[in-house]
Amino acid sequence: MNNKLNLVELEGISDSINAETESQRLASLSSITGKATNEFNKWRQDILNNIALLTIIIDFAEDQELDKNKMLFNSVDTSIRELDKEIRNYLFKVRSSEILLKGIQLVLLGPPNAGKSSILNILANKEAAIVSDIAGTTRDVIDIPLEIQGYKVVLGDTAGIRSLDNADTIEKEGIKRAKAKSLSADFIIVVLDPTNNDVLDLKDHLKELIKLDKKLVIVLNKQDLHEGDQVKSQEKQ
């Protein structure tokens, strides 16, 4: 109301206060310093200028020479194309900043008993998830916030994906949530047990993720428990 701070700058201050990592703090500076506001004002002025030029053409077209009208049209066309490019680039940067502010969504995905929960506990440096040799121990998504080299990472453990024929009602819901979580994730770590061939349902889901151009990395777990030849055989499959 007193022309001291606008909404964008206030949002930047809020993001800075709530920043949990250095990358989040840096991402909030653009709004606090007024850089984003200056860019918005420039776009507004460009739009007003284009409207003014088009109004001149509409109102005084008959009084103007054809070449001059064409020149005005070309000027507006060039300006709109540049404006479109600037806005698209800004939206791309905003999406990147949102990932930094909310945290990179990293998901552990795989069949039951592949060792996802063990990996989660090691990365979190605490017993965040129950580890058991009983299939279907993890029923819901477990999210653990981490800081990795200045970046906030939300690491999610999920229920093991297997045939629904062998799962009870609660585990079926867990598998459904695991698939949904992976579809919204920024990065997916697929954890596999090299000797477990029962991954048909997981393969079908991975094909869907690949079609969506999701970033995946395959981790062969428990290699210390198996012979090298067995591991190489599973890698080929």
Categorize the per-residue pLDDT at 24 as very low, low, confident or very high, splitting at 50, 70 and 90. confident
Residues 164 and 140 in one domain: yes
Residues 165 and 231 in one domain: yes
User: Quick one: what percent of the chain has pLDDT higher than 70?
Assistant: 84
Residues 97 and 147 in one domain: no
Residues 222 and 118 in one domain: yes
Residues 64 and 136 in one domain: no
**Structural domain ending residue among the three candidates 66, 86, 101:** 101
Residues 92 and 133 in one domain: no
Residues 125 and 57 in one domain: no
Looking at the domain assignment, is residue 218 inside a domain?
yes
* Residues 158 and 177 sit within 8 Å (Cβ to Cβ): yes
Residues 89 and 108 in one domain: no
User: Quick one: what percent of the chain has pLDDT higher than 90?
Assistant: 11
Residues 65 and 134 in one domain: no
CB proximity list for 34: less than 8 A, separation 6 or greater = 8, 9
> How many domains would you assign to the chain?
2
Beta bridge partners of 108: 157, 189
**Structural domain ending residue among the three candidates 101, 133, 168:** 101
Looking at residue 204, which CATH number applies to its domain? 3.40.50.300
Predicted TM-score of the model (pTM): 0.60
**Structural domain ending residue among the three candidates 101, 122, 140:** 101
Looking at the domain assignment, is residue 1 inside a domain?
no
Looking at the domain assignment, is residue 2 inside a domain?
no
Q: Check pLDDT > 70 for residue 150.
A: yes
Residues 40 and 135 in one domain: no
Q: Domain range spanning residue 94?
A: 7-101
What's the pLDDT score for residue 111? 86
CB proximity list for 212: less than 8 A, separation 6 or greater = 183
Residues 111 and 157 in one domain: yes
Of 8, 4, 17, nearest in space to 35 by CA? 8
Mean pLDDT over 114-140 rounds to 68
For residue 1, count CB atoms less than 10 angstroms from its CB and return exposed for 0-12, middle for 13-18, buried for 19 or more: exposed
Looking at the domain assignment, is residue 168 inside a domain?
yes
The whole-chain average pLDDT of the chain stands at: 79
pLDDT tens per residue, range 171-218:
788 888 888 888 988 899 998 887 776 676 788 888 888 898 888 998
Residues 154 and 214 in one domain: yes
